[in-house]
Structure 1
């Protein structure tokens, strides 16, 4: 099946590439002058060694306008075609002084310049080692970029671990991601929606090795160029990509306890106009988890008390493969095509023990329920990108297309028995989820004046989901019947068409960016077996505005506003989730409507000699808030269902600090302090909450003996009230030790996650005579050892290139 899908995807990809590449080849043919003559030469350094892959720009002698150019080959030879005329050459290369060759006259014959000597730039070479390290946090107008490689707590982990270490981001024990206390956050891969996140983001993020991730962008007030989806903002995971010349790469291996093994590589090979990329990540994890809870129910008709103890084990492997190429048609046209494949297989086991008590708190019986689940997942993703730049700096045209196929099957077998032989139940459940996704996007940027630009774009996204869920119960030996209350098929068809227009400009110390995005949504939800349908069509306009004012050289004030929405996730619409717990059932709601949010934010950035401080205040007004409501019937069966409440308001203060007390000591600290208020009616009952809470992280990294890094980090999440109870506090400590070996080409890292074994979710639920207290821990304390090796590049050189110097070679 995956092989057939891959073949079909490749055929479609090749068709798209062939169709879209044609204009680029025509442009290339049109740009080639009718009569040209070669300008040739050889580049050497002061030691008479060739200088490969340097940039050679051909400029007009009259006004220094760029006419053409190229790149020297591996032997330092270059060949630049030119029409008859007067020129000069500008030669640039990393760690070399810029070289100008004047007075080049092209008549009706080739021009041979011979050997040109380039000299080393001592200042650049010094910075290559001393100032080459990339900052862990990069602050931009509408986002914060966190470079995850320098955080030792991320090494050897996965995408979920990385997000859990981001400021203002929390990941609960089940893997659900929240930003500034809200779970309505949009997760993107390389700025686009991706099948790598999949139908179940919480589980999918655990399958992406951290070694393949370059950075994470936190966008709390996205501009109009981004989708309006995501009430609280966007988390964009940027995957590693390398376009250096020659063969380069990084290889990483990880071993840990409890069982956590992984291996990955990220390589590229670039020669002349072609850059080939390939990365692969394999990971195996065996994660034990455990917890307990107590439920009490009292009413006029009945009452009950039971305690539950559960043990779970999530074991499985994942394979992530990505191959692609960049083809540089000429200096202005580039085509990129990639194909990604992910295959994972989980084998999960759980055991739940229920202890029932009477009114005198005497144990009456014990019931044990076991589950064995297999969970294979497959994702295939083909992407195409075409970028055209122009002679005018900043002007560009970009086209993106992506096709995604995903399928997932959850097959479980259950057995429930009682110690007094009153219960002996055998059940099985099947949950298949298939997704097809296609998106196409066109973006254009046109600069004007000195600092202004206009941006416009179109996007179409089509998403087709099919879910078939059923629960079977054995009546007699090998005779199974379907339970009618747990049998249906959900079809979810989503079509979203969008367009945006945005402009920005700088007026003295003030920078202004404003935009407007329009989205038309056509969403059909249909329960096939019961004939229930919900067809929604709506059009919305989403404005955004960002202002930046430079108070002085070291201080900047930022203001922003955006209007956004959060559509219900597939899991929220799904009538059935799983049947692991026969007494607590999480059901979706096919009638859910989207949330809409007005978001305001003001920020103040201070650049200090030894660090930066970004402080922000924000306010969000939410309409149609989605809350999970817990209801309990007289038999003790608990149902948790998401519904749309009326309104929600939240405001808070946030700060991010980076500070280097000494050259060998780096500190980072962040905190988010907020108040959240929700209120609405459901079944003629008022549900409300008013909570003050906060999250924080403090990290310290010291460099010992010049090559050993030691990092400690502390995370804390304060208690938080909900509409039906309270989430209690969580805290955990991570440690990491890293040493460079093999002359900077290798790095060995040892780390401990959750040193005190304290990362446990604790919650209280109270509702009309019902009380529940629960504690659960998905993963205990983790020990990891990781080794990384860099092929054809040392650590210092790699860090320098990440700092932005690669632009000369692209």
Structure 2
């Protein structure tokens, strides 16, 4: 625990020292804000500007009594006061000489235009459609409160997360996951597990980018999921605190703080989480051939428990009105303790039990991730012109150490084994972006990016002999060195012609990847250059309707886990391995969308088509001993097309409905070992959510999720459905909220699949985490509950280049 807290203490000390070196201002400017009914106006933004050049000097927020106080040196100033539904107020001719200044009571008046829009919208939109992405504000969904990133993604339209944590978009797992628009080590080595370690309370929004433009990396067959973390730039000290408790064991706490003073903005957030995740599953395997046959059933009980804590500190330095420098340092540490008991029951073909074998696993899994990032942004007097530079260094370390104990009811021999799997990653990113306005409505964007990624993986399995000595199993012992260098450049232009908006771009990427199995001297060096065009068109049919068309060409490079020839050894009869010879997939993606804004809601409809080359699929094979191997290969060519819609509708001011569905057909065909593998499936996913506001301060939400069955090249995945419920109430005069929720009410979120292949039959069912109950309390410091925004939600995390 001390090792986990040490970086936090050091970062806090550095921030305090930096702040302490700044000389405090000599005087203050104070006052009180009141509305037309003489009531205090709390939590309004009060910004202080210099009269000479209108430079922002500092600012604060009014307290719950409407009183504000701003530190100021001698000089001439004016203040600007802003608050939702009230007109902006300027107080000018403030002269600070030898004394502090009290401007007295400042009267604020209602803004009728803002109030009218407030009635129509009621709150920040849950979905905001932009030219090349959809932005979802996650905070309004009660099922997201107290959750983690994996849970939140599972509630997004078109996104599914299976029981093992694998994320898919529109049915494909070849999706790129970013943090704040950039590649992050937080989801680098093992995205499924890493997403479970990110507290949902620190997430602001999710961006779904199904046809990314050329400014983004070409990586990701079906697109990009960008997780935008919470940030604050309000004046003074403000933030939020959240605590969660649940069953099965789910405890956590987080805070998100911001302090804005003159030219400096300090930000800090921290999240601590402990989870105890029980899971269970069962399967039946049957195999018959001329050489051998077997039948066995297995039952699995697993428990993944552990804690994770993450901290981020950063500072914005506003050099002047045109130059800003931002630095952040992040640290994340987790310690998991994984336990499982796997029971095999062997039968003959008369279904008579012949033996029972039990295999126990005890595994520890510590992870550490450190990221340092620097950003410089320069704007110009010409509106829309900007230059930015980003650099990031990522250092990650993960070690899996497991011990296995296997014994049988009809054999006194025990098998004792241990496995070690270490993964070390170093990653450096640098990118430069420039935007230049063209004419009245156009702009040109260009950029460069380089990334260097180096990983070392050492894997070995040892077994005890009769003399109690450890012997390495030669088939499970090697070291993989992975060296990836990607250099990219892009150019993109956009402009508006009447009701038509056009954006076209071209991205070039040079890839240099070297993989080496050091102990067996197997090397694979690949170099290739590709051009990736993108095109986006938008046409405003009417004020309430917009039509969008887009095309992009993308690739999906094999991830580290797919290349790794070794994997988890917990199941001694089923082994999942990677393939160091995997090649990337390439995808042509087309999409057309239509947005209809109605008086009480919005409807976004879209149709899409994807053509894929070199599709990677997991192939299951069985040898004569009954040992099953699952290996990814570049199997086939694939085509898929579908229809998707997202509907938001408010039948009444106190009732909000959201619904989304994705209906698609997927066709894959290819040969492996002279055998044809093909599939043709129709399937769909959907989510329906209803939210009621009762007694003005109580919200009740229910949601239903369904995933239809689908065929694969070797079998089929069966349907999944689950129901979530949530109830929240505002407390402490709107500064706090308490939320109670239940996830998977019917305990039905289970993965079920069937594999049938040349005499082999497998049926399996697994549930990673059963029904869970959560209670969350949040408190907002110097802020009331998030009020409606008159502006559309921005891009939040920026762009990935």
Cα distance in 2 between the residues matched to 1:42 and 1:368: 73
Distance change in 2, residues 1:499/1:642 (3 Å): same
SS of residue matched to 1:122: coil
- The answer (yes or no) to whether the contact 2:509–2:529 under 8 Å persists in 1 is yes
SS of residue matched to 2:345: strand
Cα shift at 1:90: 9.5
- The answer (yes or no) to whether the contact 2:256–2:268 under 8 Å persists in 1 is yes
Tell me the residue number matched to 1:94.
83
Cα distance in 2 between the residues matched to 1:747 and 1:117: 31
**Which of 194, 201, 205 is matched with 1:211 structurally?**
201
Tell me the residue number matched to 2:250.
260
Cα distance in 1 between the residues matched to 2:88 and 2:244: 43
Matches within 5 A, 1:610-629: 610-629=600-619
**Which of 56, 65, 70 is matched with 1:70 structurally?**
56
Distance change in 2, residues 1:549/1:116 (3 Å): farther
For structure 2, the 5+ residue unaligned runs are 19-27, 61-68, 797-801
Tell me the residue number matched to 2:584.
594
**Which of 702, 713, 721 is matched with 1:731 structurally?**
721
Cα distance in 1 between the residues matched to 2:705 and 2:396: 35
User: TM-score scaled by structure 2?
Assistant: 0.90
Cα distance in 1 between the residues matched to 2:520 and 2:570: 24
Tell me the residue number matched to 1:25.
none
**Which of 387, 411, 436 is matched with 1:421 structurally?**
411
How well do the aligned residues superpose, as a CA RMSD in angstroms?
A: 3.1
Cα distance in 2 between the residues matched to 1:684 and 1:265: 57
Cα distance in 2 between the residues matched to 1:193 and 1:703: 38
Tell me the residue number matched to 2:108.
120
Deviations 1:660-719 (A, max 9, x none): 000000000000000001111111111111110000000000001111100000000000
Tell me the residue number matched to 2:64.
none
- The answer (yes or no) to whether the contact 1:158–1:205 under 8 Å persists in 2 is yes
- The answer (yes or no) to whether the contact 1:437–1:463 under 8 Å persists in 2 is yes
Cα shift at 1:69: 2.8
Tell me the residue number matched to 1:63.
none
Cα distance in 1 between the residues matched to 2:659 and 2:75: 54
- The answer (yes or no) to whether the contact 2:180–2:228 under 8 Å persists in 1 is yes
**Which of 434, 443, 447 is matched with 1:444 structurally?**
434
Matches within 5 A, 1:502-521: 502-521=492-511
Matches within 5 A, 1:166-565: 166-421=156-411, 423-565=413-555
For structure 1, the 5+ residue unaligned runs are 18-39, 60-66, 83-87
- The answer (yes or no) to whether the contact 1:137–1:145 under 8 Å persists in 2 is yes
SS of residue matched to 2:734: coil
Cα distance in 1 between the residues matched to 2:78 and 2:271: 44
Distance change in 2, residues 1:646/1:806 (3 Å): closer
Distance change in 2, residues 1:472/1:73 (3 Å): closer
Distance change in 2, residues 1:756/1:94 (3 Å): same
Distance change in 2, residues 1:89/1:314 (3 Å): closer
Cα distance in 1 between the residues matched to 2:751 and 2:651: 35
Tell me the residue number matched to 1:54.
47
Distance change in 2, residues 1:115/1:582 (3 Å): closer
- The answer (yes or no) to whether the contact 2:47–2:58 under 8 Å persists in 1 is yes
Cα distance in 2 between the residues matched to 1:128 and 1:322: 36
- The answer (yes or no) to whether the contact 2:250–2:273 under 8 Å persists in 1 is yes
Distance change in 2, residues 1:57/1:789 (3 Å): same
- The answer (yes or no) to whether the contact 1:250–1:265 under 8 Å persists in 2 is yes
- The answer (yes or no) to whether the contact 2:430–2:451 under 8 Å persists in 1 is yes
- The answer (yes or no) to whether the contact 1:195–1:404 under 8 Å persists in 2 is yes
Cα shift at 1:344: 0.4
Deviations 1:602-655 (A, max 9, x none): 000000001000000000000010000000011110000000023100000000
Tell me the residue number matched to 1:20.
none
How many residue pairs were aligned? 762
Cα shift at 1:358: 1.1
Distance change in 2, residues 1:557/1:622 (3 Å): same
SS of residue matched to 1:624: strand
Cα distance in 1 between the residues matched to 2:223 and 2:201: 25
Cα distance in 2 between the residues matched to 1:497 and 1:509: 37
**Which of 738, 760, 769 is matched with 1:748 structurally?**
738
Distance change in 2, residues 1:119/1:392 (3 Å): farther
Q: Identify the range of structure 1 (272-281 vs 728-737) with the bigger mean alpha-carbon deviation.
A: 272-281
Distance change in 2, residues 1:432/1:804 (3 Å): closer
User: TM-score scaled by structure 1?
Assistant: 0.89
Distance change in 2, residues 1:123/1:476 (3 Å): same
Tell me the residue number matched to 1:666.
656
Deviations 1:347-395 (A, max 9, x none): 0000111111112111110000000000000001111111111111111
Tell me the residue number matched to 1:604.
594
- The answer (yes or no) to whether the contact 1:384–1:401 under 8 Å persists in 2 is yes
Distance change in 2, residues 1:424/1:805 (3 Å): closer
